[in-house]
Structure 1
Amino acid sequence: MNTEVFIKLVEFMDLGQRFYLSLGAAFLSVLFLVLFVGLSMRGKSRGGPVDRLGRYFSHVEDQRQVVSPFMERAILPFWRQVASLVIRISPRGIIEAAKQRLILAGSPEEVGVDVYLFTKILFPFGMLFLTILLYLFLSPTPLLRVILIGSIPLSYFLPDFYLKRRIEKRQTEIKKTLPDALDMLVISVEAGMGFDQALHKVAGNIKGALAEELNKMLQEMGAGLARRDALRNLARRTDVADLNAFVAAMIHADIFGLSIGRVLRVQASDMRSRRRQHAEEMGAKTPVKLVLPLILCIFPALLTVILGPAVIRIYYTLIQRL
């Protein structure tokens, strides 16, 4: 019965629809073949003492897989394997740029470099497959065709857009928290604490992305990394102009042996001045931003209320004269 329905459906299609259906099927076949060959080669390349030792502990992993949900047992491992295959064939420069962008975004746990690059490749092919299906079964209008075809290359940049929004949100949060954190740092240092102790106190009293970055910096310093190198890593992980200026001043003070308290006081004063200037700048931009809502939302309502009765009266007057 299902075979007869399929045969009738194929006979009902015209030549163009059959071509698109064949093209989509061929594309999916090639895609799955490449993934299968890549994953099988990846599985054969594993070997050595680690795998032999893993056999003795495989029963523990099997028990964990039985307890874990189906998504973690089946879907996510396959997704990660395919994504790791993308990492292997990607150029080194693209991988490093993706790592840096993920670091600026706070290294989200749900998005790794492999998943990020694989998603950038998967989205255009998914949109292409969806476009073929819509062409076959819905006969879209010319406008919808243009939108669908244009969305295929644009979908490649969707992960970039998501990551850019996340980076901007995180940098804005750090920029807002930094002046208050510097004030607390100045008070702590002037109260007699060392710079490292003051950083630890500030990191414990604030929340958000800046607290996370300060804790990472303290962990690096606790592991034996020099203070100036930890400060450089802090600036590299955030890429905030105000924080970069603070890091440069602290490295300068560390190299030339300047008073940390005095440098912190100057930096805190400059930071408060920058925050005040930024607030004044945003306030000056407010009238310009209000022009479009006024024109589109408020002015039509005002014109309707003011001119509406006059238009109605003129309309009835003209009808009576005619």
Structure 2
Amino acid sequence: MALLLALLMGIGVWGVFAGIRMYRADAKLPTDLALALEVGATRTGAVDSLVDRLGMRYAPAVLRLMGPKQVARYRRKIDLAGNPGGLTIDRYAARRAVYGALGGVGGLIFLLQGNVLMTLLLFAFGAFWTEVGIWSAIRIRKDVIERTLPDFLDVLAVVVSAGLGFRQALDRVASRYEGPWADEIRITLRQMDLGMSRRQAFAELRRRNDSEQVAMFVTALQQGEELGAPIVDTLVALAKDMRRTDAQNARRKAARAVPKATMMITTFMVPATMLLLAAGLILGSGTDFGTITGE
């Protein structure tokens, strides 16, 4: 057992020094992997950049193990997350390789020491840490877009009613906003500049965002274009519907929060308060427990 533990520790130390040597050597990577390493490099932190550089050479092997269907599914997840920190499918595979190796080696070391809890935690870290980051980014991005969209539509309606064309108004309003929704509008406009039809560009916008409000926006625009409805009226009505939906969602969240708060109070606060009151009464009464217990 001690020999196996020493062997694992030696492999871990060798891996650390090998990784540092690879990082400093700036080894040549294939063109596609080198490009993936550079995409969004200015938007990622030092730790993620180091992890990407260490794991990029193993990214193709991870992608092969994942298979085409899972790669396509994770590519869509990364798109829904808005490529946080310049994340691409290759960078995701690199991080999964590094975190998986760290979690696996650390889990084996603690398993040999008999620490089952740390073993499970490290195995879970290696398997799910990258997914946790993507899942969190998807939720945050969706919330930001849905908060921004109603105000964006109001401003867009005002600009269109002032006489600008719809496409020019989109460009003007998007330039005044920051965040994921403004980025999505700029991507859509760029696709239209490259020759994509407006209908297809907005369909791609809907595909990139798993949001009911974005789907409502795209559907309303396409239906208004088909029926010839005034775009200003469509935008104003859509903004009102979105705010009404937000209010309903807020009421539903509040309604779900009440039972949770009640359960927390009845489970923890009420028993703790009763114990505190009982202890105060007993201590304040000056009761001699020795006479009761016969000691």
Aligned residue number for residue 269 of structure 1: 240
Matched letter for residue 251 of structure 2: E
Counterpart pick for 2:106 among 127, 130, 150 = 130
Q: Retained in 1: the 8 A contact 2:188–2:201?
A: yes
Number of matched pairs: 270
| Residue 80 in structure 1 maps to residue 56 in structure 2 | yes
* Residues 274-293 of structure 1: pairs in structure 2 closer than 5 A: 274-293=245-264
Q: In 2, Cα distance between the equivalents of 1:266 and 1:166?
A: 30
Q: In 2, Cα distance between the equivalents of 1:44 and 1:190?
A: 53
Aligned residue number for residue 89 of structure 2: 113
Q: Note the C-alpha offset of 1:304.
A: 4.9
| TM-score normalised per structure 1 | 0.69
Q: Deviation digits for residues 242-289 of structure 1, max 9, x if unmatched?
A: 111110111122234332223223212211211121222222223223
Counterpart pick for 2:3 among 15, 18, 21 = 18
Q: Secondary structure at the match of 1:258?
A: coil
Q: Note the C-alpha offset of 1:192.
A: 2.6
Matched letter for residue 197 of structure 1: Q
Matched letter for residue 95 of structure 1: V
Matched letter for residue 299 of structure 1: V
Residues 44 and 279 of structure 1: CA distance in aligned 2, closer, same or farther (over 3 Å): closer
Measured on the aligned residues, the alpha-carbon RMSD in Å equals 3.8
* Residues 187-206 of structure 1: pairs in structure 2 closer than 5 A: 187-206=158-177
| Residue 101 in structure 1 maps to residue 72 in structure 2 | no
Q: Note the C-alpha offset of 1:301.
A: 5.4
Q: In 2, Cα distance between the equivalents of 1:276 and 1:17?
A: 62
Matched letter for residue 278 of structure 1: N
Of 221-230 and 299-308, the range deviating more from structure 2: 299-308
Counterpart pick for 1:171 among 130, 139, 142 = 142
Identity %: 23
Residues 74 and 188 of structure 1: CA distance in aligned 2, closer, same or farther (over 3 Å): closer
Matched letter for residue 109 of structure 2: L
| TM-score normalised per structure 2 | 0.75
Aligned residue number for residue 211 of structure 1: 182
Matched letter for residue 164 of structure 1: W
What are the ranges of 5 or more consecutive residues in structure 2 without an aligned counterpart?
A: 15-27, 32-45
Q: Retained in 1: the 8 A contact 2:54–2:94?
A: no
Q: In 2, Cα distance between the equivalents of 1:44 and 1:79?
A: 11
Q: In 1, Cα distance between the equivalents of 2:79 and 2:184?
A: 11
Residues 262 and 74 of structure 1: CA distance in aligned 2, closer, same or farther (over 3 Å): closer
Q: Deviation digits for residues 89-136 of structure 1, max 9, x if unmatched?
A: 652222222221111111124432112123334433322311333355
Bigger Rg over Cα = 1
Residues 264 and 45 of structure 1: CA distance in aligned 2, closer, same or farther (over 3 Å): closer
What are the ranges of 5 or more consecutive residues in structure 1 without an aligned counterpart?
A: 1-15, 30-42, 47-69
Q: In 2, Cα distance between the equivalents of 1:122 and 1:74?
A: 10
